[in-house]
Structure 1
Amino acid sequence: MLHSEGFIVDSTDLGEDGLEIGKLYDYDIIILDLMLPDIDGYEVLRRLRSARVTTPILILSGLSELDHKIKGLGVGADDYLTKPFDKRELIARIQAIVRRSKGHSDSVIRTGRLTVNLDTRTVEV
């Protein structure tokens, strides 16, 4: 789904692998499920934050109870979206989180005659 929106995606189903690549590469965002086969998603989040990984993390989970959301955000997630979700909402949240993490509150940056649209990934002169 994210590929069709122009995102470059690395993925794994295992928390241990996610920890390794999350520490190794400088991603724009990490999307984390809490229910992984090998390690609890909260533990992945804790360990990434303990390792000083500052990459924004969006939890995408089937656990929709308020306590799970509060715990995830408290452990260090930047956002929490429950399944099922609308693709448009996921894309909008990703764009907003990445934009804020890069120090931009607006998706359009203008300087002189140059305009960069972060959401559509276009440049106009």
Structure 2
Amino acid sequence: MSNSKVYDVVVIGGGPVGLAAGYEVAKTGASVMILEQNNFFNQAGSSGDLARMFRTMYTEEFMAELATKAMKHWDALEKDAGVSLRWMGGLLNFGDKDMGDDTPEGKALVRSKFLSANDFDRNTTWADRELEEIQNALQGA
């Protein structure tokens, strides 16, 4: 007796794009097999472990637009899965100074508000000050 099965669609590659393609096809009711040369969730690409990141800032405008459009798909996937798949953090990107003002970094710089040293200090909570207050409170000072 054979254990063979026929699939409607076979996806080659189980990285982010292959898994997304397989997921979307499976939602139509088709049977899907995904073939991946490595273990899933491996370190072979930039989409695994803590090194992964999703960004919308690209020098190429079409890439920035594509990434922005992809955000709604991430939202839908999280809703379908019932779990949070992302957490938002910050990224400080200085960019390439030789690329000029016509880059995402340059455009952001033009729009940014520059703070004086006094503004920066007033709007910032410094960890060493907070720790000193906690230490004094614990010591009964």
> Could you say which TM-score interval applies, normalised by the shorter chain?
under 0.3
Instruction: Report the structure, 1 or 2, having the larger helix content.
Output: 2
TM-score normalized by the length of structure 2: 0.24
Q: What TM-score, normalized to structure 1?
A: 0.26
Higher relative contact order (CA 8 A, sep 6+): 1
Q: Which has the higher strand share?
A: 1
